[in-house]
């Protein structure tokens, strides 16, 4: 038996192979949740797993599990992984890195003939991104018992697709994965991910030891006014929801982030109904992605959104409807798992710092049911949710080495 070691070249080749599934002309990936491309990525991972003799399972929300047994198979497995779905114009590393590095860790153990104490399972969670079907982190949320998937069955995707149909088609496309019921005891969860922000690169650090995740709230705001003729309706007769929406967004952009350095506010989607060039719209809707490390500040920002909407709508004779599409409170990870990762980083001489994640991750819901923590590696210029996302091969290797080291310890020490 040799000491298990990451095969960095194999991992790079895997990243490239998966980047070809849903590849975009600009060098990124469009592999949105439960799409044909997502199914192709699941198939490839399953084939790789079967070639190594690992068993493959999927649960009713299509979370995909690859299991390698341990010395004591009665112990709950240690989970390691991330997600395979992407943003519509996403990068090659967001999700794929953590999933494929976890698979590499499993292969490294297999190559070395080392049997872990607890069984280890690689997991690819369903619909982390949430851009095709909201909310995000569906698979981990359902796994942790924080949501009932039945409530999502009637969802329609951003492309008009039926969630129920796409989920059923995804499950059916992988008959070789043995069905498994939703949720199970796990001894812990470790997720490797790119930082998706600039701090590790700027500070010249090899890895981040993630201690928690800031909160996220997604609102869908719909402003209703009165449709009318673009050419014949004079100003006093207009109840134009676009004027109200512009006023709301202008006020929010001038207030939320400028007055609070920890707050984030993003409008990623905006639509008009009916969307005709020469008609005053009947309604305008837009998304708000609000983030903050403090739950009470998140609530205060939502209250500010509601007050501004009320005020601007009143001025224009419009009305506002505000629906919550996703609400993920901030969360903290388990000291025991943070410590395992930090100690392993020191052992590997990887420079590190503790940090809170600005992005949300499946790890947040896993932290509700098992000791959980994350590893971050730097990405170039902090760019992510962008086809230009890039991670240096040395960072890929460092992250995977740390994941393997922490996995071996966690599979031994955690009950
Ligand atoms: C995850 O994709 C996020 O938006 O934080
Ligand atoms: Mn991700
Ligand atoms: Mn993402």
- Residue 354 CA to residue 340 CA, distance in Å, equals 13
- Section 199-219 average pLDDT: 98
Report the separation in Å between the CA atom of 193 and the middle of ligand 1, taken as the mean of its atom positions. 11
Arithmetic mean of pLDDT, 100-115:
98
The answer to whether the beta carbons of residues 67 and 77 sit under 8 Å apart is yes
Degrees, nearest 5: CA angle 336-121-181 = 105
Give CA separation, 230 vs 110, 131, 312, in Å.
Answer: 68, 33, 21
Go through the chain and tell me how many residues it has: 415
Q: Where are the beta strands (DSSP E) in 42-186?
A: 55-58, 64-68, 78-83, 120-125, 178-179
DSSP tag of 323: E
Identify the pLDDT of residue 414.
85
Residue-wise pLDDT tens digits, 165-193: 999 999 999 999 999 999 999 999 999 99
pLDDT tens digits for range 242-262:
999 999 999 999 999 999 999
SS3 (DSSP) at 285: strand
pLDDT confidence of residue 60: 98
Residue 150 above 80 pLDDT? yes
What integer pLDDT is reported at residue 1 of this predicted model?
65
Pocket-testing residue among 91, 93, 136, ligand 1, by greatest number of atoms within 8 A of Cβ: 136
Ligand 1, from 210, 287, 359: best to mutate by most atoms within 8 Å of Cβ? 359
List pLDDT tens digits, range 73-90.
999 999 999 999 999 999
| Spatial distance between the Cα atoms of 250 and 290, rounded to a whole number of angstroms | 15
Q: How far is the CA of 128 from the centre of ligand 3 (A)?
A: 7
What CA–CA distance (Å, rounded) separates 344 from 412? 14
Helix (H, G, I), strand (E, B) or coil at 22: coil
Tokens of 182: 């939703």
Give the start-to-end residue ranges of the domains of the chain: 8-213+330-413, 215-328
Structure tokens at 111: 């190559």
pLDDT for res 92: 98
Neighbours of 315 (CB within 10 A): 11
Residue 212 main-chain phi, psi, to 5 deg:
175, 180
What is the per-residue pLDDT across 332-358, written as a single tens digit (0 to 9) for each?
A: 999 999 999 999 999 999 999 999 999
Give the pLDDT mean for 157-164: 97
pLDDT band for 144, please (50, 70, 90 cuts): very high
CB contact at 8 A, 409 and 344 = yes
Strand ranges, E, within 126-195:
178-179, 188-194
Per-chain mean pLDDT for the chain: 98
Distance CA 309, CA 288 (A): 12
- Ligand 1 center to residue 68 CA distance, Å? 29
pLDDT of residue 2: 82
Ligand 3 midpoint to CA 191 (Å) = 13
CATH code at 8-213+330-413: 3.40.630.10
pLDDT interval class at 54 (50, 70, 90): very high
- CATH class belonging to 215-328: alpha beta
**For residue 92, what are its two tokens?**
């090659």
Question: For the chain, what percent of residues have pLDDT higher than 70?
Answer: 100
């Amino acid at each position: 038996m040799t000491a298990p070691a990451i095969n960095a070249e194999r991992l790079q080749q895997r990243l490239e192979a998966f980047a070809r599934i849903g590849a975009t002309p600009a060098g990124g990936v469009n592999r949105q949740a439960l799409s044909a491309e997502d199914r192709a990525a699941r198939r490839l991972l399953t084939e790789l797993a079967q070639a190594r003799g690992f068993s493959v399972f999927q649960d009713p929300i299509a979370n995909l599990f690859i299991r390698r047994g341990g010395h004591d198979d009665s112990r709950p497995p240690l989970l390691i992984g991330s997600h395979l779905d992407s943003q519509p114009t996403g990068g090659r590393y967001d999700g794929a890195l953590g999933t494929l590095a976890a698979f590499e860790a499993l292969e490294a153990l297999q190559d070395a003939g080392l049997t872990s104490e607890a069984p280890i399972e690689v997991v690819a969670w369903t619909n982390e991104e949430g851009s095709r079907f909201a909310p995000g982190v569906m698979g981990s949320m359902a796994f942790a018992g924080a949501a009932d998937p039945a409530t999502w069955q009637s969802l329609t995707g951003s492309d008009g697709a039926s969630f129920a149909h796409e989920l059923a088609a995804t499950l059916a496309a992988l008959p070789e994965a043995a069905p498994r019921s939703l949720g199970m005891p796990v001894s812990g969860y470790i997720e490797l991910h790119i930082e998706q922000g600039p701090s590790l690169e700027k500070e010249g650090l090899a890895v981040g030891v993630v201690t928690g995740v800031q909160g996220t709230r997604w609102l869908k705001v719909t402003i209703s006014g009165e449709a009318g003729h673009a050419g014949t309706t004079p100003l006093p007769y207009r109840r134009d929801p676009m004027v109200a929406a512009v006023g709301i967004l202008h006020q929010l952009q001038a207030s939320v982030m400028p007055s609070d350095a920890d707050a984030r506010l993003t409008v990623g989607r905006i639509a008009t109904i009916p969307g005709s060039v020469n008609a005053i719209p009947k309604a305008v809707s837009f998304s708000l992605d609000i983030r903050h490390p403090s739950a009470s500040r998140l609530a205060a920002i939502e209250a500010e959104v509601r007050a501004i909407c009320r005020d601007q709508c009143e001025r224009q004779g419009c009305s506002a409807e505000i629906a919550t599409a996703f609400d993920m409170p901030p969360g903290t990870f388990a000291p025991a798992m943070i410590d395992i990762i930090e100690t392993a980083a020191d052992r590997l001489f990887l420079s590190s710092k503790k940090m809170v994640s600005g992005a949300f991750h499946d790890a947040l819901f896993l932290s509700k049911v098992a000791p959980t923590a994350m590893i971050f590696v730097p990405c170039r210029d902090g760019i992510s949710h962008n086809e230009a996302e890039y991670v240096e091969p040395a960072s890929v290797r460092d992250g995977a080495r740390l994941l393997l080291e922490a996995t071996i310890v966690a599979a031994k020490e955690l009950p």
